A and B are shown apart, each in its own frame.
Chain A
Amino acid sequence: MPRYFTDEHEWIEVDGDTATVGITDYAQSQLGDIVFVEVPDEGAVLTKGQEAAVVESVKAASDVYAPIGGTVVSGNQNLEEDPALVNSDAEGQGWFFKLTIADKGELDGLMDEAAYKAFVESL
């Protein structure tokens, strides 16, 4: 399944019409110990760039913006009990939410894994 990355350090994995969104391993390493994640409710309609989630670490609270528009299918409820999943497995178990993609065109221009890796190394 294709995986895309944004310069806001989010990853998007696309499976048909559904996208799974999370923050990257680099993002979690910059945030430090994550103590709380607020994910969007099922059914929420997000437009690209809209605030979708909040991630709070011992250092800071940050907003996570929707990298593409769509309707939320589910938020990762496991993060409520165990926000540290984002630290231990940011790009797997630590996913934030899944949405039905409104417009696949919005994926154009996002980075692939190699481009993102180069982007992080340039920081």
Chain B
Amino acid sequence: MRYLPLTEADRADMLARIGAPSVDALFVDVPETARLAGPVEGLPGHAGELAVERHMTRLAARNVNAGSVPFFLGAGAYRHHIPASVDHLIQRGEYLTAYTPYQPEIAQGTLQMLFEFQTQVARLLGCDVANASMYDGSTACWEAIAMAARITKRKKAILSSGLHPHYVSTVQTMARFTGDAIVYTAPELAAEPDTAALIGRIDADTSCVVVQYPDILGRIGDLSALADAVHAAGALLVAVVTEPVALGAIRSPGAMGADIVVGEGQSLGVGLQFGGPYLGLFATRDKYVRQMPGRLVGETLDAAGRRGFVLTLSTREQHIRREKATSNICTNSGLCALAFSIHMTLLGEKGLRALAAENHRLACRTADRLAKVPGVKLVNTAFFNEFALEIAGDARAVVRALAAKDVLAGVSLGRLYPDHSELAGGLLVAVTETVSEEDIEALAAGLEEALA
């Protein structure tokens, strides 16, 4: 379809109809000094399509593609192999209206797909019920805190120091407007998660404790004792999973007593995509379903007794309950949820377990190799496919030095916590099934050289 702009005659017509002498006259209410007098300085003029394409291609070539070099970046966004069939299937015509419909029952295929997505998410996170997805992991994390406040009628959330700092800032941004108190301190380069410290902070005002699993440093702890302590205080345990593939290998947070489990679903089916769009996962206990945000698909029988699907419990939602809705979110990440669901379906339970085992095997292999590099110390006692190293020196500078040699070594803690110089030696290394033996060797050799 061509874009056909208005002609001069169209413009004159419209201005005459509303009685304005010119387009500029529509802006008289904007103070003179705030108006743009001429073209923005320093920008090139219009260019033809071919010239723009050439220019953009040249710019894009300056990027280093994740798939073209040894790649160990993680910290909440993971590169996994996505079977080509995922992309093929999500582009089929039947799925082109994957957006959640407002006259929903007419699109039974979309509802069935979302129902299956919810089933997969609930089982993966170890919960009774999951919604049809949210925007991303960090906003799902905030929604969990807001939900805990509604259930407990308390307004103080205690965040683990192991929660991703970007999630922490999303939470702090939202809490500025809701008035929830947020308790948080930055992590230390310690071998174990901060469970004991969290238990010590719980009080009678606490609505929830939010813990990431595995946490930002890749550490994995048993959540059962924390869940017991939280419940004894009448609060809820919120668990955040930024790498859902891990749950193919380790116990789910729901099985350890978490009341709300949220996560980032990007790892399965979605891809890195320059940071988005991503996929928020949200699951909870049956008894809290009416306080859950987001869309929810249910299974039912039609008038003829045939299996069918409906959007259910919509009275929680904004288009019905207006300002009293459980959330301002009235949609879901339809296409990303579809990709997640198709990838999960292709893997199956066995496939997911095998994928998780391969991630862990390669991560152990990498950790063992890197720990032999002089000046490198492994921080974690336990991890899945990502761990923290403490290196002798500024990890940020080391990452830059290796990037110059086309090795993407990991995410430095100096980048995530720029105000915490005590963490400057920290380096997060993620190892997925996409990493080869040569990649591991290139990283080890690069670190040896950089730290020599």
Contact = CB atoms under 8 A, between A and B. Distances in A.
B200 to A, nearest CB: 28
Contacts of B290: 36, 38
Chain A interface residue count: which class? under 10
Contacts of A56: 315
A63 B324 contact: yes
A60 interface: yes
A61 B321 CA distance: 7
A41 to B, nearest CB: 8
Nearest to A57: B315
A61 B322 CA distance: 11
Contacts of B324: 63
B397 interface: no
Interface residues of B, number: 6
Contacts of B153: 41
Nearest to A80: B287
Interface in A41-87: 41, 56, 60-61, 63
Interface in B118-176: 153
Interface string B313-348: 001000011001000000000000000000000000
B65 to A, nearest CB: 50
- In the complex, which of the residues B153, B290, B315, B320 has the most CB atoms of chain A within 10 Å of its own CB atom? B315
Nearest to A63: B324
A41 B290 CA distance: 17
Nearest to A44: B153
A36 B287 CA distance: 12
Given A60-B320, A61-B321, 7 more contacts: A36-B290, A36-B315, A41-B153, A60-B315, A61-B315, A61-B320, A63-B324
Interface of B: 153, 290, 315, 320-321, 324
6 contacts: A38-B290, A41-B153, A60-B315, A61-B320, A61-B321, A63-B324
